């Protein structure tokens, strides 16, 4: 009985922490930014390796897995109330919430491209990786052009 009570208490504390996090727009935007930094770092690692005459396939494979893991989560990083109107440092444009179907479609394209690149990386075939990387970059660019504020 004590174990059940302890587990129930732990679950309530965990859920309360999750709710508090979800209600803190600044924390949501900060986490979103950190996730995108992970994607950017992984993408740069892939690009840098693919430019070498003898790329390190282990680096590419690990970076591809990172992007493939994070990409399907992108839509969940944009709950209502986390735009520039609430958190001015956010780079998310209002169109994300005004046209959610378009955003989800482009985010889905990014996730599909990330998965395709990950499959190419897992194959170990450098030619497949080089062929798939521009599609991944194009999917990133499509979202940035439509849904991200331009850098100042």
The CATH number linked to 55 is 1.20.120.10
In a domain, 138, yes or no: yes
Helices (H) and strands (E) in the chain, counts: 6, 0
Query: What is the phi/psi pair of residue 10, to 5°?
Result: -60, -40
Q: In terms of pTM, does the model score above 0.85? A: no
Please give the residue range of the domain that contains residue 81.
2-147
Total domains in the fold of the chain = 1
55 burial level (CB within 10 Å; 0-12, 13-18, 19+): middle
- Establish if 84 belongs to a structural domain: yes
64 located within any domain: yes
Residue 28, number of CB atoms within 10 A of its CB: 21
59 in any annotated domain: yes
Does some domain include residue 9? yes
How does pLDDT run across 71-127, given as a tens digit for each residue?
Answer: 999 999 999 999 999 999 899 999 999 999 999 999 999 999 999 999 999 999 999
In a domain, 152, yes or no: no
Averaged confidence pLDDT in the chain: 88
pLDDT for 152: 54
């Amino acid at each position: 009985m004590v174990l059940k009570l302890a587990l129930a208490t732990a679950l309530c504390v965990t859920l309360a922490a999750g709710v508090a996090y979800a209600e803190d727009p600044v924390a949501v935007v900060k986490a979103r930014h950190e996730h995108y930094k992970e994607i950017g770092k992984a993408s740069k690692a892939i690009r840098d390796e693919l430019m070498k005459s003898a790329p390190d396939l282990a680096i590419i494979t690990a970076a591809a897995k990172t992007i493939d893991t994070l990409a399907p989560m992108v839509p969940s990083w944009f709950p209502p109330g986390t735009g520039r109107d609430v958190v001015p440092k956010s780079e998310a444009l209002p169109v994300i919430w005004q046209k959610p179907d378009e955003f989800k479609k482009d985010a889905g394209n990014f996730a599909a491209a990330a998965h395709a690149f990950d499959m190419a990386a897992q194959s170990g075939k450098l030619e497949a990786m080089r062929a798939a990387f521009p599609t991944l970059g194009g999917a990133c660019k499509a979202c940035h052009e439509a849904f991200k504020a331009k850098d100042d």
